[in-house]
Structure 1
Amino acid sequence: MEVYTAMRHFADSWGLLAMALFFVGSVLFVLRPGAKRSAQDAASIPLKED
């Protein structure tokens, strides 16, 4: 039972911070300059002929 309490305390504090930082980083990665070109290139891969 002691391990559960420790893991829950970790998830409530540092786990939440880690998830929030990951979310902010993901949003910034998608909105960075040059992302539109990369996304368009990736989206056109299935339409390219062999």
Structure 2
Amino acid sequence: MDLGHDALVWFSKSFGLFYLIALSIIIVVYAYWPSNKKAFDRAAKSVLHNEDGPWQ
């Protein structure tokens, strides 16, 4: 079976497109999953934890 350059380019572009779409969906589902809310809230508040003045 002889795969030409055009066939390989078409396959890589198509596979890359579906790969990125699937990865984006997985990331959005993970970010909005209800059980992750506590961890994300804790991470958001930890940035400002124990800061009472400018850094010296």
- CA RMSD between the two structures: 1.8
| Structure number with higher relative contact order (C-alpha < 8 Å, ≥ 6 residues apart) | 1
Q: State the partner residue of 2:15.
A: 14
Q: Percent identity?
A: 22
Alignment TM-score, normalising by the size of structure 2: 0.63
Alignment TM-score, normalising by the size of structure 1: 0.69
Question: What code does the residue aligned with 1:31 have?
Answer: Y
| Correspondences of 1:9-48 after superposition (within 5 Å) | 9-48=10-49
Larger Rg belongs to: 2
Structure 2, unpaired ranges of 5+: 52-56
Report the Cα offset of residue 11 of structure 1.
3.7
Q: Which runs of 4+ in 1 moved over 3 A?
A: none
Structure 1, unpaired ranges of 5+: none
Count, aligned residues: 46
**Higher share of residues assigned helix:** 1
